[in-house]
Amino acid sequence: MLPVGSVAPAFTLPDKDGKPVSLKDFAGRKVVLYFYSRDLTPGCTRQALAFKAAVKDFAAAGAAIIGISKDSVASHAKFAAKEELPFLLLSDTEKTVLQAYEVWQEKKLYGKVSFGVVRSVYIIDEEGKIAAAWTKVKPETSVSTALAFLCPCSGN
């Protein structure tokens, strides 16, 4: 994980429509940046739907939601359409942003070693610095954890 207080790595990635989106587009605004493994899988879908359900709460806290995975633009378009996701999904097929945010890591499952995305959430403040970061988060709790950080008095 990148340390809290450090400058968030800049990036420009295509969204589900192929339009380039940069972190600098959100200057002066908070960003909830979440990294997930794969579109249309059970855990990633649960997490996306949890963000969808809380999108108004994040907006009230002044935060934009951005999901990033190594899936293609076409995969993101299908996922966003199927689940009616009202936030950005960005495609990092080259894994440059995944690596910059230190979420592309070696994983072990049943003795097999491979590389993949470690489900993580970063909150970037209005000045472009990392305000909070969580790694190995659960799909069911990552959204409430991020929301509780942004709105500590809301009871989330």
pLDDT tens readout for residues 87-116: 999 999 999 999 999 999 988 878 888 899
User: Which H or E element spans position 31?
Assistant: strand 30-35
Question: Tell me, what's the pLDDT at 140?
Answer: 84
Q: How far apart are CA 67 and CA 89, in angstroms?
A: 5
What's the mean pLDDT in 112-130? 95
Question: Tell me, what's the pLDDT at 154?
Answer: 54
Q: Is pLDDT of 126 > 70?
A: yes
Please report, for the chain, the start and end positions of each structural domain, with discontinuous segments joined by +. Answer: 25-148
Q: Is pLDDT of 139 > 60?
A: yes
- For the domain covering 25-148, report its CATH number: 3.40.30.10
Residues 6 or more apart from 117 whose CB is under 8 A from it?
35, 36, 37, 69, 70, 98, 103, 104
Catalytic residues: 44
State the Rg of the chain over Cα: 15
What's the mean pLDDT in 22-43? 97
Q: Is pLDDT of 155 > 80?
A: no
What's the mean pLDDT in 40-49? 96
Q: How far apart are CA 70 and CA 93, in angstroms?
A: 4
What's the mean pLDDT in 68-96? 98
What's the mean pLDDT in 115-135? 96
Q: How far apart are CA 156 and CA 148, in angstroms?
A: 5
**Please, what is the Cα angle at 97 between 76 and 109, to 5 degrees?**
80
